[in-house]
Every structure is written in structure tokens, then in C-alpha cells.
Structure 1
Amino acid sequence: MTYKDMTISHEKEIFVFRIKDFWSAVTHFIGMVVAIIGMPILLIKAASYQASSLTMISFMIFMLSMILLYGASASYHSFHVSNHVDMILKKIDHSSIFILIAGSYTPICLTALKDTVGPMLLTMIWIIAIAGIVFKVFWVTCPKWVSSVMYSLMGWLCIMFLPQILSAVSVHAFMWLLAGGIAYTIGAVIYALKQKLLASKSFGNHEIFHCFVLLGSLCHYIFVLNYLTMFH
């Protein structure tokens, strides 16, 4: 892997700006840009269906959580400033995954499920997200499998309320929701693997993981855009 360094000295401190993890940075930078573009498209469509203020807010939370995740990840994988800054960016990167998961739950909880289990599920998922963030702040270097299990369990918590979900959305809508969950889960498994899936030095398991995260986000965006915008 090739690094480009630019050293800047400020009195006693020397900061080295080092471009790193090229494909990890690029994949999630693309995700951030697409999410920024996708946000007004979603909100405009929801407004055309005369969506309620609560629905609009839930969509904003969903898209902002996506932008945060991809922005934090792209930043962490783009530049090495110092070990201290790297650690801060890593904590933000890992914590934003919990925010994205909770943010992805928010639209369906405040639209299709708002009159049934939505408020309870939403409360549960954000409490778990906050607990996960605290966990990452204090132990961001935990084994990868621990992170993968935490993210996956949080993502699949909705299985507890599967009957309510199936009665609230169509089969086609549910398939997009399910596809997104499967994509995220495959990514989490690949992230935790110790064995390399590709021989490439620049595009390994972590980059594949990033691609599955992008796929999961796309599936859930389609789910929200095509099926939840009609709810008031």
C-alpha cells in the first residue's frame, strides 16, 4: 500500500497526514455522497404524499445516520494524523454503526408500526445504541467478532416483532427490508473472519465488508423510499 505523507510542524508537535486504506475510504466516501444526494429525493417524495412531520423527521434521522456512518468511516480510513486522533476517529467510526442501525429502525417504527409496537421497539433500539456507543468509547479495540455479534443482534432484534411487521408492510416491501439485513449480516461475518478471502493487499475482507454495508444501506433506502413514504 502506498502512502503520501505531508508533515507539518507546530513548535514541539509534529503531525503527519497520511493517506491510508484507499479502497475502504473510497467505498464509504461514495456511500456518503450518495446518501447526501438521496436524502432530498426521499424527503421530496415523502412531502408529495403529504407525509406528517413525524414521518419526515424519521426519514431525516435515517438519512443523517447514514451520512454520519459513511462520513465517519471515510474520514477514519482516509487520513492518519496522529495515534491519538486515529483512536478518536475509530471510536466515532465504530459508534456510528450503532447510530445507523437505530436510525434504520426509526422510519418503520414511526410509520408502519407507530400504532402497534413501533414506539416500544424504537425505545429499545436507541437504548441499545447508546449502550453500544458507551461500550465502544471504552473498548473500541475489542475483538472483531464481539463487534460483529453486537451489531448483528441489534440489527435482528426486529425478529421479535415479525408478525407485526408482516401485517404492516407488503411482502415485496419486507423482502427489501430482509435483503438489507442479510447484506449487513454477511458483511459483519466477513469483517470478523481472520482468513483472507482475497489475495489482494489493497482490497481485503474489510473492503468487502464495506461493500456489503453499502448494499445493505441501498436495500433499506429502497424500502423506505418505495414503501414507507406513503404512510402519514
Structure 2
Amino acid sequence: MQITIREPGSAITHFIGMMMAVFAAVPLLIKAATASGSAAFTAMAVFMLSMILLYGASATYHSLTVSDKVLRIFRKIDHMMIFVLIAGSYTPVCLIVLGGPLGYTLLAVVWGIALFGILIKALWITCPKWFSSTIYIAMGWVCLWVFGPLWNTLPKSAFLWLLAGGVIYTVGGVIYALKLPIFNAKHAYFGSHEIFHLFVMGGSICHFIFMYRYVL
């Protein structure tokens, strides 16, 4: 039986991302459970689960060859998971690094934005790419609000990984929003969207290293 993948480049990149996240979750959660206790384990579990869901939803959406009605549902889920990943990435920082009223306030803000974004995608999946990217990027950089406390709490080297992840995600978001023709001219299965996928994976790797080395 022949298996047809609708968008091979996008599907394969994020299938690889999903498998990397699954395998990476094991040492991170073991370290969280043994070194930092149940609260840290829960926060890191949310972080890794959000990553696995993002890459799993994306790989599934780009793989399916189904009716337009069904595909629209999976497209919504794919886009919703971006908000989940961003909020999931904030969760360990809010609960472990910051803690207290400031950490819980930031946690409520980012998950509130995530729920707002999920609602937008549920009701308006055809919204312009620039609109979605603006929300993604703005949500990602809400951390500037707590830059001072983070700077005073974390080792300075931690900011290299935290900042690198943020910048890589942002560049990927810009590429996604602009969808520059130069990236799509010569490669039918590898264009601007697939490049965006690679930037997302790069940002995830940076933030995983940040979590493993500095947050726990």
C-alpha cells in the first residue's frame, strides 16, 4: 500500500522534532524528579508535553491527505499548539525561577494569552499570517516584563540560551509571516514554511538546554 504524505518537508521536519522531544523528555524529567522535587517535575512535564503536542500536531496536519473539512480541524489544532508551546515554555520559568506572586502572575498572563489565541484560531483560522505571528512573537517576549528578576536570579550564561531561543523563534515567525518567494522558487517540498519549521526546532533546542542546565 502506497503512503502519501501531503507536505513531506513540513511533516518530516516536525516528526523528527516530536521524536527528539520524546527522547529529550526522559533525562529532563528524571533530573527534575530527583533533584528538584514534585513542583519542578510538574513544571517540566508541562514544558515537554507542550513541545511534544506541538510537533505531533504539526507532523500530523502536514501528513494527512483527507477531506478539506477534516484538514481544517487539524490545521486549527496545529496552530493552537503554538500557543500551548509558548505558554508551556514559560511554565518552568514562572514556577521554578521566579515563583511567588510575580511568577504566578506571569504564569496567569501567558496562559491567558494562550487561551485567547486558541479561541482566535478556533473561530478565525484564516486570519492573516502577520496577525498570528504578531501574537506569537509578542507573547514570547512578555518575559521582558520580568527581565530584572530573571537577570538577578539566573546565571548570566543562562541568558545566552534563553535569548538565543527567543531570537530563533522570532526569526522563524517573521519568515512564516512574510513567506518570501525566494525560499519557494526552486524547491517544491522545502520552502519558507519548512525553514520556519527548522527555526522552531532550533528555538526548542536552545530552550531545552536552558531548562536542563540552568532552571533545574
TM-score range, shorter chain: over 0.9
Distance 1:43 1:160 in 2: 28
1:5 Cα deviation after fit: 7.1
Aligned to 1:31: 17
Structure with bigger strand share is: 1
Aligned to 1:66: 51
Aligned to 2:177: 192
2:40 maps to a residue whose letter is: T
Distance 1:19 1:126 in 2: 33
Q: Flag as ranges the 4+ runs of structure 1 deviating above 4 A.
A: none
Q: Which moved more, 1:95-104 or 1:39-48?
A: 39-48
Unaligned runs of 5+ in 2: none
Unaligned runs of 5+ in 1: 7-17
2:192 maps to a residue whose letter is: N
Distance 1:214 1:48 in 2: 27
Aligned to 1:205: 192
Structure with bigger helix share is: 2
Aligned to 1:10: none
- SS of the residue aligned with 2:127? coil
Question: Could you report, residue by residue, the CA deviation over 1:185-210 in whole angstroms, capped at 9, with x for unpaired residues?
Answer: 00000001142233312110000000
Paired residue total: 214
Equivalence map 1:150-165=2 (5 Å): 150-165=135-150
Q: CA RMSD in A?
A: 1.4
Asked if 1:216 corresponds to 2:203, the answer is yes
Aligned to 1:167: 152
Aligned to 1:14: none
The TM-score, its normalising length taken from structure 1, stands at: 0.89
1:116 Cα deviation after fit: 5.5
Q: 1:144 aligns with which of 101, 121, 129?
A: 129
Counting aligned pairs with the same residue, the percent is: 51
